[in-house]
Chains A and B, each alone.
Chain A
């Protein structure tokens, strides 16, 4: 019954989507108002039916309705209710449904918010949403149906992939999907603007908050994914340049470039074709990412499964790329006659450089990701490209980006005079140089780390210095103190100060990455009871193994007492988990963080329980915790950018 309701709802939603595609086209020939109403209702219909289908699947999962194949494969009777719900996105079919659900929620919100505005654009915006939605619904209805039934009904299910039994299951996939789907909003407006031929800044101004929101979710989704990898996968790292990680990261690069370059268009009416291309690229990359995960074309630890879905996604990717860039090629005549750069030393050119850096990073990562395919097609040999390639090509690019992060927000528009440069950058540059020299004499001697830390200091110095100057002006004009002054400044220019806070968050993340990439320690040893291992300032003492029975699995825990500079810091218990349906054990690493470093323990093996002997791997990774703190800072900065605070509101809508 549940299966029938769910599947019918999907088919009905698909019909609604088809109506949503046809109506705007008919409306273009006349009776626009009436057809817009039909389109609007079609979006609403999709929203209701997809929500019904998603709830049906959630209900099936909670009620462990094993007559539904998807439920049988992704839950067991013993699965806690929390993981039954997250089972909605635990495998291919359900995750597509989640994607579609988020997409149609976004579409519904857009349709509702702008129902009385943008009369010309809106039918086409909703058309784009309906096309994307129809594609996903078609896949869900016919190629990858989560409501497929099995008979005979099994007595118990097979259970979720054990790696997915983690608290982050609640956050990482939905965040990432929200980021991906969120990019559909600016994409849809861009396509609508192209169709209508109304290529002024209206679509950009309207979608700015949506873009920032999508960007935030994309950032958060990637960060939480890194955090998950760090604390669940148990290899001590947070990023492996795996194809699917790259697929999640790649849309972030053009999206970030877009966020910056649209400011140039808003302010200076430049880069129109470029901005359209960036958002099309970003959206296409979200489809490309899904294609990679579902097709099994590249070898990855994340790949869900192969099957017909991969091919279907490739067709859709082709349709999106050819359709949107083809449309751009046809309309390019409307985009001529833009102003040119006045000077190479200006904010425009800093933003343009930042765009070039981000797109270059995108290109190198894309190349590295698909290189196994290229090499096999051209030379017949599959060559895999690993972290050394990605690190060596992206580190210089990202450091250059950090440098531009210091310049871009501060330098003057149009043409920066020598005085302007001296006033804004002399002190920050001097301060960061002093910092770099101090680092050198302290202990940092390698080229890349010292350059990186100096550049990060430069960004922070420019932000502090610029804000301090503005605060001094507030004090002079209105006699405001620091807190009051900060509030006034932020309210007057939310985008600027929100953006600067986001930059601080990015600085923290890069700080964590740079330090943990460069200065990690690692040791592995087999320990008898009460034996210990020394690493850095730590001593780890083995205190025995402990088996335990969990709802879904058996667990062997090793207890290790951690001493830091001789002081007892308590016991850490990494574990190996044995799932009856999986047979091979799954590691559960544990770590303890403080602001300066993480100590990270992995139980890599044990002898018989009786002899109490364990093999332990220990990592000490400096400053990792700042990556996660940076994520919260970005969240805070994003809120400053998008929350209505009264003053800045009139600029848009």
Chain B
């Protein structure tokens, strides 16, 4: 009640208004700028802490019934790929993976495909459709995917003969990249950065 009739017209009071306006702008501006900055980056992309660390051991039952354990593969270079039959970029990269496998399979290298959140039937169908010949199995409990920190598929890991992860690739990957990176892994070269393909978040 008491203030409503005062007229804010003197010069000093106007100066006060402008000062207050500037302060308002100085507080709000940076917040807005920060939020706008958010658009320039991918919030879901977090660099994996696994690079150059020892790969977590796991045992997997393959679709042909045999068991495969990562520990038994010490001394070999390993390419590990997480996929599912229902994921479009996995379909897109399937032929590339097989082609890469054909190129390197006579060297001391192993490819392992791990199917996630998929039915047995659909997975087998997928392997047949793309004539996949390297060992593939199912991550029954989803534990392997958790250990490797995958939250979307496809994701691929390269493991050197000492069992260290040398490179991680998120999203679809090309045959040439697989061959180049597995050869680097064989020499124990750890990449500085993870790779990113066409990204297809699925969870």
Contact = CB atoms under 8 A, between A and B. Distances in A.
Nearest to B34: A373
A607 B45 CA distance: 33
A338 B4 CA distance: 12
B39 A295 contact: yes
B180 interface: no
Interface stretch (B15-23, B70-78, B103-111, B192-200): B15-23
B17 to A, nearest CB: 5
B105 to A, nearest CB: 30
Interface stretch (A218-226, A326-334, A348-356, A399-407): A326-334
A615 interface: yes
Given A297-B35, A373-B34, A376-B41, A326 B3 contact: no
B32 interface: yes
A314 B1 contact: no
A299 B45 CA distance: 9
Interface string B13-53: 10011001101110010011011111101011111000000
A531 B20 CA distance: 71
Interface in A297-331: 297-299, 310-311, 314, 317-318, 321-322, 325-326, 328-330
A391 interface: no
A200 B1 contact: yes
B1 A269 contact: yes
A584 B117 contact: yes
A334 B34 contact: no
Contacts of B84: 583
B35 A291 contact: yes
A329 B20 contact: yes
Given A329-B23, A332-B16, A333-B13, A321 B32 contact: yes
Contacts of B8: 333-334
Contacts of B37: 373, 377
Contacts of A321: 28, 31-32
Interface in B118-170: 118, 140-142
Contacts of B43: 296-299, 372, 382
Contacts of A269: 1-2
Nearest to B2: A337
A310 B1 CA distance: 42
Contacts of A534: none
A49 to B, nearest CB: 32
Contacts of A583: 84, 86, 117-118
A295 B3 contact: no
A299 B2 CA distance: 49
A330 B35 contact: no
A583 to B, nearest CB: 5
A585 interface: yes
A326 B2 contact: no
Contacts of B13: 333
A605 interface: yes
Interface string B71-92: 0000000000000101000000
A615 B36 CA distance: 45
Interface residues of A, number: 46
A322 B28 contact: yes
Contacts of A397: none
A605 B139 CA distance: 12
A370 B24 contact: no
B34 to A, nearest CB: 6
Nearest to A297: B38
Interface residues of B, number: 38
Contact of A318 (B4, B20, B32, B45): B32
A605 B141 contact: yes
Nearest to A581: B86
Nearest to A321: B28
A12 interface: no
A328 B39 CA distance: 30
A199 B39 contact: no
Contacts of A336: 3, 6
Contacts of B46: 299, 382, 384
A335 B21 contact: no
Contact of A330 (B21, B45, B118): B21
B12 to A, nearest CB: 10
B66 interface: no
A385 interface: no
B20 A298 contact: no
Given A197-B4, A334-B4, A585 B117 contact: yes
A336 B13 CA distance: 12
A433 B140 CA distance: 54
A352 B8 CA distance: 28
A332 B20 contact: yes
A335 B16 CA distance: 13
Contact of B34 (A310, A326, A374, A605): A374
A553 B108 CA distance: 45
A198 interface: yes
B35 A199 contact: no
A326 B24 contact: yes
Nearest to B122: A583
Given A298-B43, A311-B39, A585-B117, A329 B21 contact: yes
Contacts of A328: 24
A377 B32 CA distance: 13
Nearest to B203: A584
B15 to A, nearest CB: 11
A297 B203 CA distance: 17
Nearest to A615: B141
Contacts of B118: 583
B81 to A, nearest CB: 18
Contacts of B34: 370, 373-374, 377
Contact of A199 (B3, B142, B203): B3
Contacts of B20: 329-330, 332
Contacts of B32: 314, 317-318, 321
B153 to A, nearest CB: 10
Contacts of B44: 299
A328 B140 CA distance: 60
Contacts of B39: 295, 297, 310-311, 314
A390 B4 CA distance: 42
B65 to A, nearest CB: 14
A8 B190 CA distance: 59
Residue from the set A299, A329, A336 with the largest chain B CB neighbour count within 10 Å = A329
Given A322-B24, A325-B24, A325-B28, A298 B4 contact: no
B36 A314 contact: yes
A604 B141 CA distance: 8
A330 B4 contact: no
27 contacts: A198-B4, A269-B1, A291-B35, A295-B38, A297-B35, A297-B39, A298-B43, A299-B43, A310-B39, A314-B32, A328-B24, A329-B23, A332-B17, A333-B6, A334-B6, A336-B6, A337-B2, A370-B35, A372-B43, A373-B34, A373-B38, A377-B37, A382-B41, A382-B46, A382-B47, A583-B84, A605-B141
Interface of A: 197-201, 269, 291, 295-299, 310-311, 314, 317-318, 321-322, 325-326, 328-330, 332-338, 370, 372-374, 376-377, 382, 384, 583-585, 604-605, 607, 615
The 4 closest A-B pairs by CB, nearest first: A297-B38, A333-B8, A329-B20, A584-B117
